[in-house]
Structure 1
Amino acid sequence: MTLLEKRLGDTKNVQEVLLEEVIELGRGIIDSTDLDMLRENANLNGESFSGKMSKFGSEYSKWYARNFTMPPQLVQATLDNVVYVHDLDQYAIGTTNCIFIPFERLLREGFNTGNGSVRPPNSIMTAMSLVAIIFQSQQNAQYGGVSANKLDYDLAPYVTKSFAKLFRKGLDYFEEGQVHDVTGEISMSRSDLAEQYPRAFRYALKETESETLQAAESMIHNLNTMSSRSGGQIPFTSINYGTCTSPEGQMVISSLLSATMNGLGSGETPVFPIQIFKCKEGINQRQGDANYELFLKAAECSARRLYPNFANLDAPLNIQYYDPSDPDTEFATMGCRTRVLGDRFGRNHCSGKGNLSFNTLNLVRLGLAHGTITGRRSTADEDGFYEDLNYYMDIALEGLLHRFRIQAAQKAKASDFMMREGVWEGGEQLAPEDSVGELLKHGSLSIGFIGMAECMKAMYGKHHGEDDSIHAKAVAIVRHMREYCDRKSEELDLNITLFATPAEGLSGKFTKVDRKLLGSIPGVTDREYYTNSFHIPVYYDLPAARKISLEASFHEHCNAGAISYVELNGNARSNPAAFVKIIKYALEQQISYFSINHPIDRCSACGHEGVIGSHCPSCGADENKVHIRRLRRVTGYLTGDYQTRFNAAKQAEVRDRVKHL
């Protein structure tokens, strides 16, 4: 007897119930009556034709997986509202999650999209155009994010190619009559060429700088306009940069930041790619470091455009595999927070692998079952909490392993571009009919968690931002979960990791079910959302430094990824010194991945950007008559307008956010 048959008993025919469920799903999509479902993904217009079509396929795939694919224990754990299976629509067919793309090799060797082959580029303009095409091609082979972990290093050779061509042209323009006896590679670092052919060198430098900026603007525009992911949304792209100290690499970094500050066609802030500036002592953190001015420029850009975020290469979790001679060993992340640097099979670098899937635990539900706030007991039952935590981690892990077996059994041809072109390292060596399991073992399987704050409130009456002793208990829980993952990694010989879950739609889904069952409990289920991962609640008023120091303790345990934020008051553009100071403090506290939130509103009438109330301070336009685009960050990435794209839970969270002064 299936779990579905047990649930229904003898009351109804199974086929009739399944048909009713499918019909009800369709009604909610066609009539746009279930807005939370249609707005589950803030970067997809779920009410458009393509969005609804995508939702039809997605929701039916989830329904199929629940009823015919997933292990019964996992299905029951989801019905218990303790475990959540992310991207359930991809479960049954064995798609993988996210990946760091080896751009260096693909650009150097060329690639084939399946419809035609592409030669290696001979200029930075062509190279950046191909970066967008590679992102687009890979996005169609998976369901999660696609990331470049060292784009400054990957693109620097093509700046050199452009410079060399322009220098030779400059020789013809400015050095007529001379014998041009130029040997060796022509590059920006050739001081001898600058001395011997100063006019040609200056010309080439200026023109290359202009071309690189145009290339960066073109790439960013492409990545904000290619609606190729699932037919109705742009690829979820991330780019990491900041540590290449060659003149060419520095030009790439500077151009990306300038293009981002310039904005899109009408000057609006680009939503993609998510940009991450990699911070490293000795490279870009102090006056005199080769890239320190670029770090300051990155902070200025973030104050204006919310990107880039900041990755801490010196955090203990991130430095352990670092090889100064190999930029592929530098910590990098997907914009949402995913990291995959470590690999028990020896591929301790980023590119060519990614996360395979992750399941998230609802810590709040366990806290309510074993805490004091419901009045069932006077002291928290910590033994019972940990017993249940282990039980549900076992179920979440079994679900990941079951899904991994489906993924591993897939043939290389199913992943198409990813395997054929070796985007997943080694995939190019597989025949189309070969299974991919031996390669996928280098990826990670992750257990995530959400609602630590509400869990602590349910257990002890206070959350971990209110009491240091409760903060220690929260850290102990996360440490316990990490130790569980490490132990299972050894037992199973797989990369099992702990994830501080980025919860967009999930934060409201868990809460809605728990409140319906247990009622509105102050500080726990009385809001529309649970707090993201281990974060201090967005509504809790405390200074920025205090929030940073409290959350820093959790980062070292979350080896699948974590991010921390602070929220600034007013227009962050007006105080760049304070912005830099906050970033540096977060890095000093060993935050692994950090960013600063601040509101960016844009008046469609005059283009004014900043903090806009009901009327534009520049032209006086009324928000009821003129669209005010209110850009906010959710789970690591931006979305065009939180009031029309966020689900109800995330809209409530944005309204509750206090400023950390």
Structure 2
Amino acid sequence: MREELSDIVVIKRDGKRVKFDSTKIAVAIKKGFDAVDSEYTLSDINKVFHDVIDVIKDGNFDKIKIEQIQDIIEEIMNQNGYMDIAKAYAEYREKRSQSRELFFNEKKKHKFLKALENIGLDSKNGTADEYDFDSINNRLIEYGEIVSEKFATAYIMKKKFSELHENGDIYIKNIKYYPFGTTENCQINLEKLFQNGFSTKRCSMRAPQSIVSYSMLALVAITNNQRDQFGEQSIPAFDYYMAPGVLKTFKKEFKQTIYDILDYTDFDKFIALNGIEREIEKITSIDFDISIFYKFTRESEQLKRMFRIVYEKAMKKTNKQVYQSMEGFVHDLNSICSECLTTINIGTDTSAEGRIISYNLLRTISEGLGENRRAISPKVVFKVKKGINLEKNDVNYDLFSQACEVVKVADNISFSFLDSDINTENYKIGDFNTEVAYFENGTRIIDNFVDEDRRISSGRGVIASTVLNLPRIALRCDGSFENFMDELEKKLDILKDQLIESYEIQSNKKVKSFPFLMKEHVWIDSERFEDENMKIKKALKHGLLQISFTGLNEALIVLNGKSHAESTKSQELGMEIVRFIANKSNEYVNKYNLNFVVSGNENDEISQSFVEIDRVLFGKIKNVTDKDRYTNSFEVDKAVDIKKKVEVESEYHNLTNGGHKILVYSDDVQKTVDLMYRNNIGYGVIKYKN
């Protein structure tokens, strides 16, 4: 089909001449059908598409106007009895015509742009020292998602990028946020925020002094940072960050319990209260020998017993407060912060304080929200590490076992493997900041090629991500692997250019555009900005530019007839493809000194949108386009045996430094975690089946 039509020249409305592209026709027809709430099927869309192509082919056109193509589409719809679709398509054409008048009439275009610029200003009118910042989500409401995206594609983004996005060759995740230069996500360093407190739009938060205030401020930090980004939020070491709050609470309870006892006894005549208070302040852990206070007892057995009772009561009260704090934290994330998807990384803090945090967080998630409702957020990533929690004699083995049990009742728990090859490279024993952190979708944060001394997870995240449709390339190359690799390289170079374009737009934004992320120094290196009018480029460079891909499974079926779970040859080809993508990413890192990384896409909606367009273009192909969505990332079909699935997919985890994820269904959680660990998996999710 393409060969017969490739010589046709299409004349656009502005007189510009371009090559004929059947993909644009397929997309337009699909949009027409999607616009009507009906029972039409794929075969209906395919029929219109192929009839339109046949008419154009039979017309022997050397050149054809865009309006002629649209007339043919409308006519074919009517001829085939799709009158409602034809009507909707005609209305769509009329609206597009009005839109073009708006954009290309100079007077109207000027007014439209001024209106958009006024909405998008970093600050509203006010004094020089006062700014009433809108959150990015509120600004997006003013624009409207459609207007924002169209503005980006018409005035900001290069045309070749927007066309590839619309045609389904790539998917630009931040396309609706281009005008704002918004980044995607961040691993929030709570320790840094808690140290001296922080400010929000309307108030200042003092440094927290109890576990209750720690959990409240954690919630405030997550919520406010979400307003400056469009994606997920994550805490890379929640147990470590919250542990000091447990110790502060214990000290208060220990001291108060002593005061309470002294109110009802005459022990105060025999003990030096000032000395006891000083001793309490010296405590560095709640797990200590109570006999350190016996020096204040004058060898009185009654006073020794008093201190033992004080310790027990203080521990009981502290435990209760930690549980209530974690319960409130989880409930609030699912109510007042329900739009903010949050990931919490825990599992490696072996201190008594950190263990209490992890235990009570897992307990709260296990118990749910009441009335048989399950918590959607937070998603908990349990960090698995030998010597800390993997084996029975490890300190945190009980927490690991607890996490595995929670999997049986909730979908919130996943596992990262700190001993996998890809996750040990940067790890420094005893430094939790060098532990890799994941987002729930598998996005991995640790590598920092622009500053190898700052290879940490906290304060960093993805600044832009674009997904590549691998089956589309394979289908267009008619199964030729050589042609596939040539086309893959071309697409990767374009994708790289698009990510750089996005980065440059973001880099030119000012500190004041991100009142929490940058002004409160959540993002790494943002402390260097002394003025809110400074551009954020010097800090933003630590973020990741994510080259993602999806549908390797289907691409291999097109290229070799079988998936990588069915054929050793297909697995070899799959590894060659992903290794090539990884090598190209490293090439871009060296050339541009930016943090390009490779990731498997885990967004079902993106994989679904790709296959819907490809089904129209290439028809219903068995095991390729005859499904609701392409198989995400490098994953194999979920029907594949667990052991085989783990073995096949594990080989790709070392090649995807920007993120990876294996999803399996199992009735033995701990056994499956052990299987993942032994097979060098970086990050995995287990869905429990009875």
TM-score, normalized by length of structure 1? Answer: 0.79
Instruction: Spell out, residue by residue over 1:97-128, the C-alpha distance to the aligned partner (whole angstroms, 9 max, x if none).
Output: 11011100111210000211001111101110
Return the match for 1:499 from 599, 615, 621: 599
Pair 1:78 & 2:183 matched: no
Counterparts of 2:499 and 2:291, CA distance in 1: 57
Matched residues in 1 for 2:97 and 2:354: separation? Answer: 57
Preserved CA contact (<8 Å) 1:371 1:460: no
8 Å contact from structure 1 (residues 82, 361) kept in 2: yes
* Contact kept? 1:242, 1:294, Cα under 8 Å: yes
Which residue matches 1:441?
541
Q: Could you report, residue by residue, the CA deviation over 1:240-296 in whole angstroms, capped at 9, with x for unpaired residues?
A: 010001100000000101111111132421000111111111100111111011100
For the pair 1:201 / 2:306, whether they are aligned, the reply is no
Q: Look up the SS of the partner of 1:144 in the other structure.
A: coil
Tell me, yes or no, if the aligned pair for 1:510 and 1:530 is still in contact at 8 Å: yes
Higher deviation after alignment, 8-17 or 522-531: 8-17
- Once the two structures are superposed, residues 335-365 of structure 1 have per-residue CA deviations (whole angstroms, 9 ceiling, x without a partner) of 1111120112131001111110111110001
Does the alignment pair 1:59 with 2:149? no
From 351, 355, 377, the counterpart of 1:272: 377
- Mapped to 1, the partners of 2:591 and 2:566 lie a distance apart of 38
Answer yes or no: is the 8 Å Cα contact 2:603–2:632 preserved in 1: yes
- How much has 1:513 moved relative to structure 2? 0.7
Say which is worse superposed, 434-443 or 10-19, in terms of deviation: 10-19
Gaps of 5+ in 1: 24-49, 228-232, 373-380, 573-577, 600-610, 612-661
Distance 1:367 1:288, change over 3 A: same
1:313 counterpart residue number: 418
1:341 aligned to 446, 449, 461, which one?
A: 446
Gap change, CA 1:115 and 1:428, over 3 Å in 2: farther
Q: 8 Å contact 2:187–2:235 — kept in the other structure?
A: yes
1:179-328 to 2 correspondence within 5 Å?
179=271, 180=273, 181-182=275-276, 183=279, 184-186=281-283, 187-193=285-291, 196=294, 197-227=307-337, 234-328=339-433
Q: Does 1:549 align with 2:647?
A: yes
- The alpha-carbon distance between structure 1 residues 89 and 7, as it changes in their structure 2 partners (threshold 3 A), is farther
In 2, the alpha carbon distance for the partners of 1:168 and 1:87 equals 52
> Is 1:365 matched up with 2:472?
yes
Secondary structure of the 2:581 match is: helix
Superposed CA deviations along residues 40-79 of structure 1, whole A, max 9, x for unmatched, are xxxxxxxxxx99x959712221222222221122123224
- Residues of 2 paired with 1:443 and 1:293: CA distance? 35
CA contact (8 A) 2:239 2:346 kept: yes
User: Alignment partner of 2:548: what SS?
Assistant: strand
1:465-519 per-position Cα deviation (integer Å, ceiling 9, x unaligned): 1112211211111111001101110011111000111222111111111111111
Structure exhibiting the larger radius of gyration computed from Cα positions: 2
Tell me if structure 1 keeps the 8 A contact 2:512–2:533: yes
Kept in 2: contact 1:226–1:235 (CA 8 A): no
C-alpha change, 1:598 and 1:189, in structure 2 (3 Å) is closer
Q: Using the aligned pairs only, state the percent identity.
A: 28
Q: Deviations over 1:585-624 (max 9, x none)?
A: 111111100111247xxxxxxxxxxx8xxxxxxxxxxxxx
- Which of the residues 670, 673, 676 maps onto 1:580? 670
- The CA distance in 2 between the partners of 1:91 and 1:15, in whole Å, is 27
**What is the rounded CA distance, in whole Å, between the counterparts of 1:22 and 1:221 in structure 2?**
50
Deviates more, 1:546-555 or 1:262-271: 262-271
Q: Deviations over 1:124-159 (max 9, x none)?
A: 011101111110000001111111000100000010
Report the number of matched residues.
550
Which region of structure 1 is more displaced relative to structure 2, 499-508 or 415-424?
499-508
The 5 Å alignment of 1:529-540 reads 529-538=629-638
Q: Secondary structure at the match of 1:322?
A: coil
1:349 aligned counterpart, secondary structure: coil
Moved more, 426-435 or 588-597: 426-435
Match of 1:144? 231
Task: Give the unaligned 5+ runs of structure 2.
Answer: 1-9, 19-63, 71-92, 103-136, 295-306
**2:502 aligned residue:** 403
Q: Give the Cα–Cα distance (whole angstroms) in 2 for the partners of residues 595 and 4 of structure 1.
A: 50
Paired residue secondary structure (1:188): coil
Q: Specify which structure has the bigger relative contact order, considering alpha-carbon pairs within 8 angstroms and separated by 6 or more residues.
A: 1
C-alpha deviation, 1:461, in angstroms: 1.0
CA–CA separation in structure 2 for the residues paired with 1:4 and 1:597: 53
State the partner residue of 2:552: 452
Residue 416 of structure 2 aligns to a residue in which SS? Answer: strand
- 2:474 alignment partner AA: G
Q: Which residue of 2 aligns with 1:561?
A: 659
Amino acid of the residue matched to residue 212 of structure 1?
A: V
> Is 2:11–2:66's contact at 8 Å kept on the other side of the alignment?
no
Could you say if the C-alpha distance between residues 121 and 133 of structure 1 is closer, same or farther in structure 2, counting changes exceeding 3 Å?
A: same
Q: Residue 548 of structure 2 aligns to which amino acid in structure 1?
A: G
Q: CA 1:481–1:4 in structure 2 vs 1: closer, same or farther (change >3 Å)?
A: farther
Letter of the 2:549 counterpart: F
Task: Provide the residue aligned with 1:28 in structure 2.
Answer: none
Task: Choose from 409, 416, 429 the match for 2:528.
Answer: 429
Partner of 1:383: 482
Distance 1:10 1:526, change over 3 A: closer
Whole-angstrom CA distance in 1 between matches of 2:354 and 2:523? 25
In structure 1, C-alpha distance between the alignment counterparts of 2:512 and 2:614, rounded to whole Å: 42
Equivalent position of 1:642 in the other structure: none
User: More displaced, 541-550 or 346-355?
Assistant: 541-550
Q: Secondary structure at the match of 1:552?
A: helix
Change (3 A) 1:474 1:128: same
Question: How far has the Cα of 1:20 moved from its partner?
Answer: 5.4
The 10-residue stretch of structure 1 (286-295 or 166-175) with the greater mean CA deviation from structure 2: 166-175
- Corresponding position of 2:108: none
The 5-angstrom pairing of residues 599-610 of structure 1 reads: none
2-side partners of 1:22 and 1:240: how far apart? Answer: 51
- Which stretch has the larger CA shift, 215-224 or 328-337? 328-337
Q: Which residue of 2 aligns with 1:107?
A: 194
Residue pair 1:174, 1:199 contacting (<8 A) in 2 also: no
CA displacement at 1:543 relative to structure 2? 2.0
Q: Distance in 1 between matches of 2:178 and 2:596?
A: 18
* Structure 2 equivalent of residue 19 of structure 1: 98
Give secondary structure in 1 for the equivalent of 2:558.
helix
Question: What SS does the aligned partner of 1:209 have?
Answer: helix
Shift of 1:192: 3.4
1 CA distance for matches of 2:143 and 2:514?
23
User: Displacement of 1:91 after TM fit?
Assistant: 1.5
1:532-586 per-position Cα deviation (integer Å, ceiling 9, x unaligned): 0001123xx3321111111101101110111101123xxx5xxxxx211111111
